[in-house]
Amino acid sequence: MSNQSVQTVSTSNDKFKVALAVVAAIAGVVGFFYLKGQSKPAWMCGSALAAGLVFAVLLLWTSSSGREFLNFAKESVRETKKVVWPAPKEAMQITGIVFAFVTVMALFLWGTDKMLEFLLYDVILGWK
């Protein structure tokens, strides 16, 4: 017996729900900036944005591909919480090493470029 997973093809109804959710999210963002341009209170602008996003999430939750995406997003957040972040001192040391390496590489590439320029234009072609 095979343990391979079967991937189902989403129906046109699911595609319509996803498209409608995208439109709802965009409408929330547009409503936010429209109300902000009209000098409306901040709570009104924020509620327009929140309403559009909540409606989009609810629409996505009713489609199979939307549920899969939202589950993926939840798992991503859960995995991000497992990351062990470096201490500030260690982060500064790593950043210093990266800057030093970038500086050395920039000087090396500049020197290589100038050497090849000299060899090509002055020695081989004699243009300068």
**55-109 pLDDT per residue, tens:** 998 888 888 887 888 789 899 999 999 999 899 999 999 999 999 999 999 999 9
Contact present, 48 and 26 (Cβ < 8 Å): no
**104-116 mean pLDDT:** 97
Is the pTM here over 0.85, yes or no?
no
- Which of the given ranges, 17-26, 69-78, 85-94, 118-127, has the highest pLDDT on average? 85-94
Q: For residue 31, give every residue at least 6 positions away whose Cβ sits within 8 Å of its Cβ, in sequence order, or none.
A: 45, 48, 49, 51, 52
State residue 12's pLDDT score.
80
* Residue 63, C-beta contacts closer than 8 angstroms, at least 6 positions apart: 10, 13, 14, 17, 18, 21
Task: Decide if pLDDT at 40 tops 80.
Answer: yes
